Amino acid sequence: MNKMGKIKLFFQKINSLSPAAKASFWFVVSNVMLKGISFITTPIFTRLLDPTDYGITSVFVSWEGVISIFATLSLAGGVYNVAQTKYGHDIEGYTSSMIALTFVSSLLIYTICITINLLFPSLFQLSTGYLVFMWLQTFTNAAITFWLMRKRFIYDYKSVITYTFINAILSPAIAILAILLFPKNPAYAKVIGAGVSGIAIGLYLTIYWLVKGKKTYEKNYWGYALKFNLPLIPHYLSSTLLHSSDKLMINSMISTAAAGIYGIAHSITGLIGIITQSINHSLIPYTMQSIKNGNLKGLKNTISACVALVATVCVGVVLFAKEGILIFATKEYIDAVWFIAPLSLSTLFSFIYGIIGNIMYYYEKTWQMSVITMSIAVVNIITNLLGIYWFGAIAAGYTTLICSILQVTAYYFVVSRYEKNLNKIIDLRLFALIILCYIGVMIYSMVFYNSFWFRAGLIVAVLIAVVVLRNKIINVFKNMKKNDENNNG
């Protein structure tokens, strides 16, 4: 069979998958495509902007990430996924009312921020013009997110991919053109150019939702959303802190160079995060619907397969960490290889607690989630402070791993109190086996990190073992399937 025939056969297999599996695949593809274009365009912007102007754009993005949590109340997040099940009969009306609530909330928060900026200009280190544009971008991004979450929920992956591709091309292209046209104000040009296409699409979708839903203030919908999501604000803030405190503390306690090395490791393991985030997003509606319909066996098999897939990707990243660093950076950053192993395992645990978190969303236990995340954020800061002081920067990778393990444990304990059949959804024995295998590979890769052929040889050996023992492996899975059927009655 020629290459075109193999490609055609591959897509035929993809099209034969279930709607959930097919959507998962294409959501991963769209996210990888989006992040890939971002990686490609970053070197272009660093050459078009001097460090000061590039720093302004970075400050803009950082502040938007923090302020948007308060401005939008994250209404297009977990609460919207639950609402699509709870208020499925009037989802257009619910969405239009959430658009109105987001507008009121964002207008209030950004009015406060602009007032503060006028009184204390040094606080945000941004002019008022940036904050006004930030408000417009934050609000319209929320309208887009509602639309994307709805399309993901109904497995309409074609619409999601179309938007992702258009935005991934237009945003950097317009930003580059704007910088070239307005060289005297390159930072403004970059920020506005990168956001203008999204704002145009967001304004269109705002009108679309309002016309379709025909509701702005709906007391029951506003009350439900605020009751659900306000307790989650500390959770979202703590999550941001969990992802940034280690780099900030390394920079403060050791050096900027050490923080840069750690940042490279974070960027490489962040590629795994693209996959895990995409899979988890596609699992959200399936998880909600499976628990509601009592399809726990199918949900358990899907989750187990997804965890095994993510673990396999993590193993690949760990085995070829050295080569990955040399692709992304230079030999000056080679010490980042020692961070990748714990950070990759942390990513795997993060994926697992994300899955358990979906179940927590289903039972609307948001305040417990916030308490756990805030507690873990405090633990992370304390362990970073002590670990970095005693052992240096390398400790940050392992404190991140420890906190991820603690978060999985806490989530599982809380969810087990409400979902009595959690053992029929989460296969702890399989997870333990996967993690033990990963740890073995992690130790092996660190011992032979200087020998490419030893690390590549491990993969070859595993593939040979799978081929030789394929019949026994198949029988094991068949027995596991029979045991599951017997246990489920």
pLDDT tens for residues 318-363? 877 777 777 665 676 677 788 888 888 888 888 888 888 877 777 7
What pLDDT score does 442 carry?
Answer: 77
**14-32: per-residue pLDDT in tens?**
666 666 666 666 666 666 6
Residue 8: per-residue pLDDT: 64
Dmax (CA) of the chain: 73
Q: Where are the alpha helices (DSSP H) in 392-451?
A: 394-416, 428-447
Tokens of 266: 């974070």
Q: What whole-number distance in Å separates Cα of residue 209 and Cα of residue 226?
A: 20
pLDDT score of 108 more than 90: yes
pLDDT at 51: 57
Using DSSP's 3-state secondary structure scheme, residue 127 falls into coil
Q: Which residue has the higher pLDDT, 60 or 67?
A: 67
What confidence score (pLDDT) does residue 1 get? 52
Report the pLDDT value the prediction gives residue 389, as an integer from 0 to 100.
85
pLDDT for residue 364 is more than 80? no
Look at residue 465 and tell me whether its pLDDT is greater than 50: yes
The yes-or-no verdict on residue 476 having pLDDT over 80 is: no
Q: What is the mean pLDDT of the chain?
A: 77
Question: According to the model, what pLDDT value does residue 480 have?
Answer: 44
pLDDT at 22: 64
Please check the confidence at residue 43 and state whether its pLDDT lies above 70.
Answer: no
Please give the pLDDT value at position 489: 42
The DSSP annotation for 146-212 comes to HHHHHHHHTT-HHHHHHHHHHHHHHHHHHHHHHHHH-TTSHHHHHHHHHHHHHHHHHHHHHHHHHHH
At 159 the pLDDT is 81
- Confidence bin at 487 (pLDDT 50/70/90): very low
Q: Would you state the pLDDT for residue 259?
A: 64
Whole-angstrom distance, CA of residue 468 vs CA of residue 202: 54
Tens digits of per-residue pLDDT, 430-462?
888 888 888 887 777 777 667 667 667 777 776
Q: Each residue of 297-326: pLDDT tens digit?
A: 777 777 888 888 888 888 878 877 777 777
Percentage of the chain surpassing pLDDT 70? 75
Question: Which pLDDT belongs to residue 488?
Answer: 45
Q: Mind listing the pLDDT tens digit for each residue in 342-352? A: 888 888 888 88
DSSP code at position 426? -
More confident residue, 165 or 117: 117
pLDDT computed for residue 6 by the predictor: 56
The larger pLDDT score, comparing residue 372 to residue 468, is at 372
User: Which of 236, 278, 242, 250 is CA-nearest to residue 65?
Assistant: 236
Token pair of 155, please?
Answer: 């497995």
Section 398-407 average pLDDT: 88
User: Looking at per-residue confidence, does 255 or 406 come out higher?
Assistant: 406
